[in-house]
Structure 1
Amino acid sequence: MQTRHSTTDRIEETVIAALLGLMTMVTFANVVARYLFNSNILWALELTVFMFGWLVLLGASYAVKKRAHLGVDALLNMMPQGLRRGMALFSVTCCLVFALMLLKGAWDYWAPYAELPPTTGRWFPTGLNFEMRGQGWYEVQDIPMIAPLKFLETLINEGQSYEKIPKAIPYLVLPISMLLLTLRFAQAAGAIWRGESDRLVASHEVEDELENIRAQQGEHE
């Protein structure tokens, strides 16, 4: 079980690090092209914006998994253990409901671009709307179409060619990230319910690190 979790961590960390590295490389290349060659990479800005969106959205779910989001626990620490656990369950339930709503909204926004039916219902899905007109022909503004994605022309664009990549590609992160966020909150809820944790965020990490540093300094003295 631990190996599987470690492998998942490595995959997520690698994807996030790759996005950050690619953003830096593309931005640097565009600066070099502009100031040294008086040219411009037309698609660099749009690609960087999309990669930043992927980075933030995937990072949000990973931070929930690692309990790395910021939180204020001054009042929580003053409560008895039972009440603290109850408050944590209430908090994670609110987060889980909100994540489910985000997941529905993300799917409904992305699905037409992929020629898939969005859900019906205002707050929570009650079915699928097969009458919604697809929008698979929508393209991004600047990023050119690449050969490995040509299969999408048949899959979602009725065989018509794309000049730019379809919007279904960069916007795919919306349902993926919201699904991961929902799963992370569900895992956090399970840990709190089983008594393995009493809060959503890690407590006093800075103070713990400072104590470790002081202890190490004391050993050297």
Structure 2
Amino acid sequence: MQHQPDSALGRFVNELEETFIALILGAMTIITFINVVLRYGFNTGLIWGLEATSLLFAWLVLFGMSYAVKVTAHLGVDALLNVFSHRPRQILAIVAGIVCVIYAALLMKGAWDYWAPFAGLDATSGRWFPTGFENSRDQAWYETVDIPMFDWLRFIEPVMNEGESYEKLPRFIPYAILPFGAALLLFRFVQATVQVVRGRRDGLIVSHEAEDAVEDVKHMNAER
């Protein structure tokens, strides 16, 4: 069961996730294919190919975790929930939603605090929830291992690297998916919890992999 977004923001996030997931899968496929052809056909390869596909896979996972909340693709155990009637089930789903929102908020804080120094920004203060910002060591000069710097991105060098040239792609660019992905996850959990409160959704997770598998093979058993 999928829930269509009911707001302009929801539709924008939905299109953003689907577009980037498709682009990332396409880029991973193309890079891997080219590397295989170069390696076995010409005894060479893209030096930066492995690192690029690894980073793209991380992007895919972090985009996918929020999108899976939207399409209810995450798996969960609801044996205990099914014992209760509709109203207690809804209350428990709301409690679970609040817990997930808190978890996503903590994850976003941790993701920002990890990424911010690579972008020359300040990390948040506070052990659990942000209480402000505090100075953190500027790590904007950190580069990836093999991925070359793109010429069209060199306008960032005066701002991020004190005018010095990057030889490789700076890490803050691929690492930016950490706070962004966590923010998407927080948005999706808030959206899902609101839908549960409004009665438009039974729970955060409604996928039943085992039942779906049984339905898929039922016709096979009927033909025997």
Pair 1:148–1:27, CA change in 2 (3 A): same
Aligned to 1:136: 140
* Deviation per residue, 1:84-122 (Å, 9 max, x gap): 011101111111111111000000000111111110111
Pair 1:117–1:179, CA change in 2 (3 A): same
1:150 is paired with a residue whose SS is helix
Q: How does 1:143-182 map to 2 (within 5 A)?
A: 143-182=147-186
Q: How does 1:1-221 map to 2 (within 5 A)?
A: 2=6, 4=8, 5-6=10-11, 8-129=13-134, 131-204=135-208, 207=211
1:141 is paired with a residue whose SS is strand
Amino acid at match of 2:78: D
Amino acid at match of 1:189: T
| Aligned-residue CA RMSD (Å) | 2.3
Pair 1:68–1:203, CA change in 2 (3 A): closer
Normalising by structure 2, what TM-score? 0.88
* Deviation per residue, 1:138-195 (Å, 9 max, x gap): 0000000001211221121111100001000000000100001001101111111122
Normalising by structure 1, what TM-score? 0.89
Aligned to 1:218: none
Pair 1:182–1:3, CA change in 2 (3 A): closer
Aligned to 1:219: none
Gaps spanning 5+ residues in structure 1: where? 216-221
Distance 2:31 2:43 in 1: 16
Distance 1:36 1:203 in 2: 44
Gaps spanning 5+ residues in structure 2: where? 220-224
Q: Percent of pairs identical after alignment?
A: 50
